[in-house]
């Protein structure tokens, strides 16, 4: 009698946390700063009735803490993340905040490869400890085996998982008494708006300040859907700024950029808004007048404006502005140009401003993590996962995402909260006029409105790519931290 061996399944091993700590220094304005970098994977767990705690995801982070601090609770800590959705934290990490940055030329254009990092003398480490977070499915962050990544690919779970990481890191590192800040970029500002409410209501973690870089909180301002005329109004000033940069405006508008933008903002909020509201009720003469003004403020032809029904989609604009030159302009930063295979195409094949920075940031990040930070992992680092089209907005069924309302609630709970919003004039992903509209429609008392500060830069979505704007934005952020850090003032 023979017996077949019974095949048994091996239990799924719970992944282990992993960290690497290294020591570094940087000289800023003649002062030497010694600091510790902790690169690691932290497990996020959920309570399970049968097993106590169940591991759900492994989140990668890089934390910078200043050495020689007598009392760390007197030192601010800032949690940083980028957007996408699907983006890792690499952009602000190696472009703006960290003590090392990608070397670009002064206008933010890349040098030929190979790429390298240099000391970032403008780092915010001089004013705050820094923790860079890669949400699940970005960077090295992944769900644990047998857990599905898709459960994290929605507005609500994304906020909850990043919030849980912040709570856990703060607890383990005994930083509950520190002044705490968030800084998000692009969809990271959407996340920051949600976190401001969630951290305070779920954990009682009140924030000192929130820094929003290239903000989008209310998606109605950026969705070119049939029946939604708002984006056409709010993108127009950035179309003008772009045409100004590329010398496509008439001579009378090619002087001071801010004065030109004042004109187009007034037109957009008045004549143009009224014209779009009237729709088919607009007379032929009135349409001609509006088309003429739009052509004047965009550098596009009157004929093309009429063909768009007075409504210029952002992707069409990027392709049309310099079509005769065989060029397309960037979406993230409209100062950049590139080319497409088909000069007659309606939209660009890719964004030349993203193409310009992807290579430098990817190569230097890989080299930095394994070389300087001694964090060794063969897993692919997801710089920017393709989650945009599959991201779920379940909690906003039949409405536009709007975490500006979460930010309003955060102000209600914590009147001391301060916010700074950084805008690039050449940002066609999150235009500054749309951001102004969003904040002008957050229902706050005047005492709270005084806690919101807007800043502007002659650069794009990642305004820090340009050297002049990098210097200016870091000065603004450092001043903001000093003003909002109530702990150190006592």
List the Cα angle 174/182/75 in 5-degree steps.
40
Of 165-169, 203-207, 387-391, 459-463, the range with the lowest mean pLDDT is 387-391
Q: Whole-angstrom Cα distance, residue 31 to residue 303?
A: 60
Residues whose CB falls within 8 Å of the CB of residue 224, separated by 6 or more in sequence, listed in order: 231, 232, 311, 313, 314
Would you say 417 and 410 are in contact if contact means Cβ atoms under 8 Å apart?
A: yes
154, β-bridge pairs: 392
The whole model's pTM is what?
Answer: 0.94
Main-chain dihedrals φ then ψ at residue 256, nearest 5 degrees: -70, 125
Specify the higher pLDDT residue, 396 or 237: 237
Task: In whole angstroms, give the CA distance from residue 45 to residue 60.
Answer: 14
Report the run of H or E that residue 22 belongs to, with start and end: strand 18-28
Angle at 353 between CA 129 and CA 479, to 5 degrees: 30
pLDDT tier, 128 (very low <50, low <70, confident <90, very high otherwise): very high
Q: Tell whether the model's pLDDT for residue 7 goes beyond 80.
A: no
CA gap 338, 465 in Å, rounded = 18
Strands 52-66 and 142-143: antiparallel
All structural domains of the chain with their residue ranges: 18-220+358-489, 224-350
**pLDDT for 3 beyond 80:** no
For 380-395, write each residue's pLDDT tens digit.
999 998 887 889 998 8
Please give the pLDDT value at position 397. 85
CATH class, 18-220+358-489 region: alpha beta
Tell me what pLDDT residue 340 has: 86
What is the band of 365 on the pLDDT scale with cuts at 50, 70, 90?
very high
Residue 357 has which token pair? 């920075």
What average pLDDT does this structure show over 440-459?
96
**Cα–Cα distance between 94 and 118 in angstroms, integer?**
10
Q: Average pLDDT, stretch 212-220?
A: 98
pLDDT at 258: 98
Element at 235 (helix H, strand E): helix 230-245
Between the CA of residue 165 and those of 57, 79, 159, 180, 459, what are the distances in Å? Answer: 10, 10, 10, 14, 32
Query: Which of these ranges, 251-255, 390-394, 483-487, has the smallest mean pLDDT?
Result: 483-487
Rounded mean pLDDT of the chain? 94
Return contacts of 266-274, CB within 8 angstroms, 24+ apart. 267/236, 267/293, 267/297, 268/233, 268/234, 268/236, 268/237, 268/433, 269/233, 272/232, 272/233, 272/236, 273/233
116 contacts: CB under 8 Å, gap ≥ 6: 103, 364
Q: Is the pLDDT reported for residue 11 higher than 70?
A: no
**Angle, CA of 346, 349 and 354, to the nearest 5°:** 125
pLDDT digits (tens, 9 = 90+) for 288-307: 999 999 999 999 999 999 99
Model confidence at 69: pLDDT above 50: yes
- How many Cα atoms within 13 Å fall on the side-chain side of residue 369? 25
pLDDT classification of 4: cutoffs 50, 70, 90: low
Contacts of 251 (CB under 8 A, 6+ apart): none
């Amino acid at each position: 009698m023979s017996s077949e061996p019974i095949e048994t399944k091996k239990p799924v091993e719970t992944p282990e946390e992993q960290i690497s700590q290294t020591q570094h220094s940087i000289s800023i304005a003649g002062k030497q700063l010694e600091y510790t970098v902790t690169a690691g994977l932290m497990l996020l767990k959920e309570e399970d009735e049968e097993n106590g705690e169940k591991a759900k995801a492994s989140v990668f982070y890089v934390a910078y803490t200043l050495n020689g601090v007598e009392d760390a609770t007197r030192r601010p800590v800032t949690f940083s993340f980028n957007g996408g959705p699907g983006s890792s934290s690499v952009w602000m990490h190696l472009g703006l905040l960290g003590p090392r940055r990608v070397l670009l030329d002064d206008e933010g254009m890349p040098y030929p490869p190979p790429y390298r990092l240099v000391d970032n003398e403008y780092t915010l480490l001089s004013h705050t400890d820094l923790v860079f977070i890669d949400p699940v499915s970005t960077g090295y962050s992944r769900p644990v085996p047998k857990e599905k990544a898709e459960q994290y690919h929605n507005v609500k779970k994304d906020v909850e998982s990043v919030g849980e990481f912040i709570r856990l890191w703060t607890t383990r590192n005994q930083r509950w008494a520190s002044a705490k800040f968030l800084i998000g970029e692009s969809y990271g500002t959407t996340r920051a708006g949600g976190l401001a409410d969630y951290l305070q209501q779920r954990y009682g973690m009140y924030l000192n300040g929130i820094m929003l870089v290239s903000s989008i909180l209310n998606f109605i301002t950026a969705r070119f859907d049939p029946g939604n005329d708002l984006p056409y109004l709010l993108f127009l000033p950035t179309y003008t700024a772009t045409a100004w940069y590329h010398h496509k405006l008439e001579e009378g508008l090619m002087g001071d950029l801010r004065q030109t933008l004042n004109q187009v903002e007034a037109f957009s909020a008045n004549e143009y808004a009224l014209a779009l509201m009237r729709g088919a009720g607009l007379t032929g003469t009135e349409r001609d007048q509006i088309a003429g003004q739009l052509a004047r403020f965009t550098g596009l032809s009157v004929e093309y404006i009429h063909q768009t029904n007075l409504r210029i989609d952002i992707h069409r604009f990027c392709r049309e502005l310099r079509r005769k030159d065989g060029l397309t302009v960037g979406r993230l930063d409209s100062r950049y140009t590139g080319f497409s295979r088909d000069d007659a195409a309606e939209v660009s094949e890719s964004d030349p401003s993203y193409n310009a920075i992807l290579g430098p940031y990817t190569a230097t990040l890989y080299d930095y993590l394994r070389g300087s930070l001694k964090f060794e992992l063969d897993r692919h680092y997801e710089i920017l996962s393709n989650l945009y089209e599959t991201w779920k907005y379940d909690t906003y069924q039949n409405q536009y995402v709007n975490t500006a309302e979460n930010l309003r609630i955060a102000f209600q709970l914590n009147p001391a909260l301060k916010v700074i919003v950084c805008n690039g004039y050449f940002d066609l992903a999150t235009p500054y006029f749309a951001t102004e509209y969003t904040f002008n429609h957050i229902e706050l008392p005047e005492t709270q409105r005084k806690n919101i500060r807007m800043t502007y830069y002659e650069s794009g979505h990642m305004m820090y790519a340009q050297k002049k704007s990098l210097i200016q934005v870091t000065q603004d952020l450092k001043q903001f931290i000093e003003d909002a850090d109530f702990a150190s003032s006592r």
